[in-house]
Every structure is written in C-alpha cells, then in structure tokens.
Amino acid sequence: MLVLGIESSCDETAAAIVADGRTVRSNIVASQHDLHRPFGGVVPEVASRAHAERITAVTEEALSEAGVKPSELGGIAVVNQPGLVGALLVGLSGAKGLALAWNLPYVGVDHILAHVYAATLAGFDAFPHVSLVASGGHTCLYLASGPGEVKILGQTADDAAGEAFDKGAKLLGLGFPGGPALSRCAETGNPAAVAFPRSNPNQKPGDSLDFSFSGLKTALYYHLRERTENGAREITDEERADVAASFQEAICEILTEKLLAACRATGHPALAIGGGVACNGRLREMLTDRAGDVRVFFPPPALCADNAAMVAGLGHHFLERGERADWSLDVDPTPKRLN
C-alpha cells in the first residue's frame, strides 16, 4: 500500500510517499529556518502562514518525485499532535481536503511516535528496543514493542535536549537553529575545558530515567557571566569552541547514560534514537563507544529531523489494521504521557 504522509507540526512543511511502511519513495521537506532566523526562534504565526503557502507544492512534489498518482494511494497519514496549534491545523486541514477529494481513508499520527518509528522505517526491526526521541520540544525515553506501541520510561522534567542546544547556542552568540550551529562550533573545542554539571552523573539501578537540562543551561549562563561582563560577546573564538564542546559533551553524556541505563533496567540490549538531536555526531560517537553489548541503531539524519516519511510509515500500520479518522479529528498541541 502507498501512503501519503503530511507533517507540519513546527517549522518544516513536509510530505512523503512510503510503500508498505518500509520503502521511502519520496521525502520532501521545505524548511522555514530562513524565515525564523531573524527572530532567533520559531514564530508560530509565521510558521502557520508559511505552511499554508507551501503545503500544496510540497505534496505535489512528493507525488511527482515518487511517480505516484493520487488514484494509486491507499491512504493519507497526517500529524495532528503534538506541536504548534496553528501549524498542525494547516497539515490536518490539507489532509482532510485531499482525503475528501480523492476519496481516501486518512489517520492522525502522533509526531513523537513517528520519530520512534523512523528507526523501523530505516530497517531496524529489533523489538522490543529502547528508543530516545530528542527534539526541540521533547526528550522522551520509551520501550518500543511494535510500530506505534510504546511504554514511557522517562522524559524531561524541564527543557528538551534540543531546547538546551538552541538556548546554549543563543547564549554563545551562535546561529539558528542552535543544535547544528553549536555542534559545528564545538568541532575545534576541548570537551573537557569546562566541567558542566550532569543531572544524575552516576546513574545507578533504580534511579529515575527522567532528564533535566535547565540546570545545565543556567550553568552555561553563569559560566559566561563570570568570565566576562557582557557574556559571550567578549570571549575568543577558541574559548567559545571550548565552551560549546564542553556543553555538548554534557548533553550527550546525559542522553547516553540514560539510554544505556534504560537498556539495563528493561533487560533489552537494543536501542535507537530519533528527533533532530539524534543527528548530532558526538552523541552518535559516544553511544557507539559506550554501548558495550547493546545493539545501537542510528537512522539516517534525514529521517531523524522532522520529515513526513516517518509519518507515512507509521500511518501505514494504522491504516492496515483498519483505523480510519472521521471528519471530527482535531489537533492537540500538548504531548501525551503514554504508559
């Protein structure tokens, strides 16, 4: 079955065609980074307008790149939660319109569960496995037992890991989005230059699998304030690289140690990561180095960052088991705690 996926939960307008929940036939992403860069962060109203302007062209491109006609589709999968309410509404309204016009079934998909599915889409079929979704809005640790079937093991008590990267980059005077900018800056730095705090540094059996990043962000703020009167503006490029590398090291260590602790706690020696932060090279390197007997899987970066292929892939399983959304399906901006 061919499924059209649509994603518009934040600042990427995306559409994709996936066959049988496995084969990505097209994966089109129109990023809005240039529109939000002058503001240093995502402006919800700007995001909604840009989605509305682009969604038709992005969907047409996904179909034409895949060489698929609407009459060949088996259904549509659209992210309806969580995310920016106005942004989600554009994707959901578009999907409803197409489902009506083309007489197709459609289903709503949870954005975070789609990130979990990215590993399966990329060929990782070890179930159950521990899955980390680390993005700009969420940091969630799950035990995944099948497509869309997860039990939550831990989540952030405050900021998301991506948010820590974004805010850290802002404090260091780096660009938007912060994660890629900070990791680029960190390339020439010394990760041991500054001893930033780690929540739960010596994770023991029975310790919480929840995350916390706000203390780390505050530590960066005070480090820069103690060093200079005007924060990052006065430090040298060399020092900025050292601070960025040390900050990135702390985030990666928190994520790595929780992931491996979750494998020990659940007794399942397999893990995968997803979400924009899963593109981070240092995180991938550290997990590989410390995994020991744990099987570690990294989806390609294009499936980790926001995309609609992961949505079409997960939606395939919902459609295949007969799920159908009716016209009353609404958006829900808040994440669910899935037990």
Catalog residues that contact ligand KG4 under the rule CB under 6 A: 10, 135-137, 162, 165-166, 177-180, 183, 275-277, 279-280, 305-306
Cβ proximity to ligand KG4: between 164 and 265 the closer is 164
Across 157-305, the runs of DSSP E, i.e. the strands, are 270-274, 295-297
Tell me whether residue 339 is exposed, middle or buried, using C-beta atoms within 10 angstroms of its C-beta: 0 to 12, 13 to 18, 19 or more: exposed
Query: In angstroms, how far is CA 273 from the centroid of its own chain?
Result: 9
Phi, psi of 249 (to 5 degrees): -60, -40
Cβ proximity to Zn ion: between 83 and 154 the closer is 83
Cβ proximity to ligand KG4: between 183 and 246 the closer is 183
321: left (phi over 0), alpha (psi -120 to 50) or beta: alpha
- What DSSP string runs through 258-274? HHHHHHHHHT--EEEEE
137 is in the binding site of which of ligand KG4, Zn ion, none (Cβ under 5 to 8 A by kind)? ligand KG4
CA distances, 309 to each of 28, 87, 123, 299, 303 (Å): 9, 18, 13, 12, 7
Q: Which residue has the tokens 């020439």?
A: 188
Evaluate the CA torsion angle 28, 10, 185, 280 in order and state its sign: negative
95 is in the binding site of which of Zn ion, ligand KG4, none (Cβ under 5 to 8 A by kind)? none
Smallest distance, ligand KG4 to C-beta of residue 1, A: 26
CA distance 294 to 214: 29
Cβ proximity to ligand KG4: between 63 and 186 the closer is 186
Q: Residue 280 in 3-state DSSP?
A: coil
Q: Which residue has the tokens 């570690």?
A: 296
Smallest distance, ligand KG4 to C-beta of residue 149, A: 21
277 is in the binding site of which of Zn ion, ligand KG4, none (Cβ under 5 to 8 A by kind)? ligand KG4
CA distance 13 to 29: 6
Residue numbers at the binding site for Zn ion (CB under 5 A): 135, 306
CA distance 83 to 195: 34
Smallest distance, ligand KG4 to C-beta of residue 4, A: 20
179 is in the binding site of which of ligand KG4, Zn ion, none (Cβ under 5 to 8 A by kind)? ligand KG4
CA distance 254 to 209: 10
Smallest distance, ligand KG4 to C-beta of residue 170, A: 11
Cβ proximity to ligand KG4: between 52 and 116 the closer is 116
Smallest distance, ligand KG4 to C-beta of residue 159, A: 10
Residue nearest Zn ion (C-beta atom): 135
Smallest distance, ligand KG4 to C-beta of residue 67, A: 27
Cβ proximity to ligand KG4: between 92 and 279 the closer is 279
Cβ proximity to ligand KG4: between 163 and 257 the closer is 163
Tokens of 208: 């919480």
Smallest distance, Zn ion to C-beta of residue 115, A: 6
5 is in the binding site of which of Zn ion, ligand KG4, none (Cβ under 5 to 8 A by kind)? none
